[in-house]
A and B are shown apart, each in its own frame.
Chain A
Amino acid sequence: MRDDIKQLSYEEAYQELESLVARLESGELPLEESVNLFERGQSLAAHCQALLEAAELKIQLVEAAE
């Protein structure tokens, strides 16, 4: 998977995936672009899934300064 995708948060990856599917739905794309979008979409979906499956709740504490 491309590194730039690995850096994306779930929200970013998910939103890109959604807009990418919408672009594909509009049709009218050159084949090469549609193939590129498809491949990127698959990577984005895999990234989202990995984030969901591997995530562990992180907990941080902010206490009074005194």
Chain B
Amino acid sequence: MQSFTVSELTRYIRGLFDADEALADVWARGEISNLTKARSGHWYFSIKDASAQLRCVMFRHATRRASAGLRAGAEVLVHGRVGVYEARGEYQLYADEILAVGGLGDLQLQFEALKAKLAAEGLFDPARKRDLPAFPKRIGVLTSPAAAAWQDLQNVLRRRYPLAELVLSPSLVQGFEAPAQIVMALERLNRLRDLDLVIIARGGGSLEDLWCFNDESVARAVADCRVPVISGVGHEVDFTIVDFVADLRAPTPSAAAELATPNREDLLLDLDRLRGDLTSLHAGALRSNGRELARLRQGLRFVSPGRAIVAARAQLRESQGRLWRAAQFGLERRRERLASANQALRAANPAQILGRGYAIVRDDGGALIREAAQVSKNQRLNIQLSRDRIRVRVDE
């Protein structure tokens, strides 16, 4: 009869487990019981269903990534490999990942309850949302320095808006301790005087990974933040309570960095545009000033004494002309008047009249006889003719 030592037999059985590929990579579903979180950081627990149970161990390095909602009674899916622990003669599941299954409904209920409560308090009011500064100088970042989100943020800002200064306030962003750490990290940022805004960043993860952002104390700390807060938590599809409380929700950490800052390329284009405006406005100002100058010069010529002198001279010339013409005209008229006077004089000369056949009749006393009543019968009269005279006697 062949016999084995316990060690030999156990090692043989272990070999059978290790050789089985199905057991090397397996998901097992059950309800958690006997959960023990050892001081070493390892977790020991069982998962069970109605008729069986399975010992599980999750070592410290894996627990750090494990979900926040892990507790006795929770329905979970556990991933890992099944192997034999020789010292106890037990087979167990060496877990590297735990997903909540039945607990999900529970968390969803909690989420909706808190959301309704905070909404009723007005914490999600659009009126509470603050405008983001156009050119943030100091940006507080709340995240885990080990997270990819932190690298993403830096990359985006380095390319996009390197004028900014980042102030990292490190915190765990998942797990049991995360909510308290996040609240403290926000308080540290809140104490800074010249901060322009805060970005809360965390990459994608399961509902439970992101659970700390559905924590009431975290939500209230975000609401109390002195400066605007952008949440960049998870992926596009993930919504957390913090997203609702934040002044702006970004779908991802990178998107948060983009929403927080202007783009350097755009700013350079803007500068070019302003420079162009400046140059053309300046050229325009010079041109219009030149035109104004020309206009003034024209006006100046118009009002200059030189021109006045020319005008006065012209006026003088014109006055002289008028004077001369007036004098000329006067002389002419006088000459004409003299001529007509001479003519009249000549016409009035009695000798002239006598020449035309008239005669002057006088009495002996020399008085002019104008009518018959002046004379009597046989009176002698003298008739003066043009050249000589006749002596006559009145007959009748």
Contacts and interface: CB of A to CB of B under 8 A. Distances in A.
A3 to B, nearest CB: 20
B188 A52 contact: no
B170 interface: yes
A24 B285 contact: yes
Interface string A3-38: 000000111001001101100110101010011001
B166 A57 contact: yes
A58 B166 contact: yes
Contacts of A58: 164-166
B137 to A, nearest CB: 6
Contacts of B157: 57
Interface string B155-169: 001100011111111
A10 to B, nearest CB: 5
B340 interface: no
Interface string B134-145: 110100100000
A57 B162 contact: yes
A24 B282 contact: yes
Contacts of A49: 268, 271
B369 interface: no
Contacts of A24: 277-278, 281-282, 285
Given A9-B135, A11-B135, A60-B167, 11 more contacts: A10-B135, A14-B270, A14-B271, A17-B271, A21-B277, A34-B285, A38-B282, A42-B278, A59-B167, A61-B167, A63-B170
Given A58-B165, A61-B167, A11 B137 contact: yes
Contacts of B268: 49, 52
Sort A-B residue pairs by CB-CB distance and give the 4 closest, nearest first.
A11-B135, A55-B162, A38-B282, A24-B281
B163 A64 contact: no
A51 interface: yes
Nearest to A45: B275
A48 B192 CA distance: 27
Most buried by A among B192, B277, B285, B288: B285
B140 to A, nearest CB: 8
Given A57-B154, A57-B164, A25 B192 contact: no
B186 to A, nearest CB: 11
A35 B274 contact: no
A17 B271 CA distance: 9
Given A14-B135, A24-B285, A59-B166, A52 B154 contact: no
Nearest to A59: B166
17 contacts: A11-B134, A11-B137, A31-B286, A34-B285, A34-B289, A38-B278, A38-B281, A41-B274, A52-B268, A55-B162, A57-B157, A57-B165, A57-B166, A60-B167, A61-B167, A62-B140, A63-B188
Contact of A60 (B158, B165, B264, B275): B165
A52 B288 CA distance: 35
A15 to B, nearest CB: 9
Given A11-B137, A51-B163, A55-B162, A60 B277 contact: no
B275 A25 contact: no
Nearest to A25: B281
Nearest to B138: A60
Nearest to A42: B278
B339 interface: no
B189 A62 contact: yes
